[in-house]
Amino acid sequence: MAFAPMGPEASFFEVLDRHRASLLATLRIGCGETPGRGTHLASRFEDSVGLQMVPHCTTRKIKSDSPKSVQKFALILKILSMIYKLVQSNTYATKRDIYYTDSQLFGNQTVVDNIIDDISCMLKVPRRSLHILSTSKGLIAGNLRFMEEDGTRVNCTCGASATAVPSNIQGIRNAKFLLIVEKDATFQRLLDDNFCSKMSPCIMVTGKGIPDLNTRLLVKRLWDAFHIPVFTLVDADPHGIEIMCIYKYGSMSMSFEAHNLTVPAIRWLGLLPSDIKRLNIPKDSLIPLTKHDQMKLHSILKRPYVNCQPFWRKEMEMMADSKLKAEIQALTFLSSDYLSRVYLPNKLKFGGWI
């Protein structure tokens, strides 16, 4: 006989529930955090959406009679003809499928990826409207049921296994809060520790590093459907912060589709640079920032949305001053299961997010 997972007592989620009530109140009155200042780049920042294209950004023309662009023009027409057939027949293909229809012509997968993004931007439609899907690399686990486009019903369990993030879902059920985990290794460790069962009802997602389109779409879909608190668990380093920003605010390359991909309500749960000091993590468990790390951190600090996040800025400045970073695994210095047994439960119970 199967038993439903037993989570904490209802009182455990009091702070979390108040946070959700605050999010819902913000949605009802139609306001967000203090808007950020616009940029002069190809994207502007709007707090309720994230990075968006500026109305009059720089464009380029592709001409059939120009030696410099004739090949690009031909490839765009080739892919447009394939998209037309997919839409007419109401069928779908992956970007990989399109590449392998004529791999010698396209040369490499990146060429196909860039042209599909250009077409999506040019026509001002989501990639899904072109009937082109991406192969998912992300994983999801927890208290979630959904139906895939072909009618397959999927029940994500809270056991030691996860389900691949679907390319499209028609219906979703049963969600309370969502934890986005940066790395697959951390995600798997939380599964092994039965974190989902202990914190039930919860959902965990990982994009295995920089998230693919399907993982970002799923996170957005869960937020739109339930307006549940969404938290990120990333390394205390510039790369982890960058990944968190992609989920929350989007990326320059996909700014034309920001309204379908971003969740500005996301909060940073951990690992915070201030946690390193608070928990007395020894210096030999930390890693010096490389030159590239310092440049990345400096770049993030200059972004307009950081002006809206004074607590984020304080954490990043703390990292910059110390010139040290830490992986989530640094918590194993305290105990092998400290992350799932102490760190995350306390953060969730007492509101340790920013």
Known catalytic residues?
A: 100
Q: Where are the beta strands (DSSP E) in the chain?
A: 43-46, 50-53, 93-94, 132-133, 139-142, 144-148, 153-156, 163-164, 169-173, 178-181, 203-206, 230-233, 267-270, 287-288, 324-325
Q: How many residues does the chain have?
A: 354
Q: What share of the chain is helix, strand, coil (3-state, %, to 5)?
A: 50, 15, 35
Distance CA 348, CA 13 (A): 7
Q: Which backbone phi and psi does 236 adopt, to 5 degrees?
A: -80, 70
Residues in a beta bridge with 268: 232
Closest CA to 9 of 288, 200, 152: 200
User: What's the token pair of residue 37?
Assistant: 């200042």
Residues 312 and 354: beta-carbon distance below 8 Å: yes
Residues 232 and 269: beta-carbon distance below 8 Å: yes
Q: Is the dihedral of CA 51, 56, 57, 60 positive or negative?
A: positive
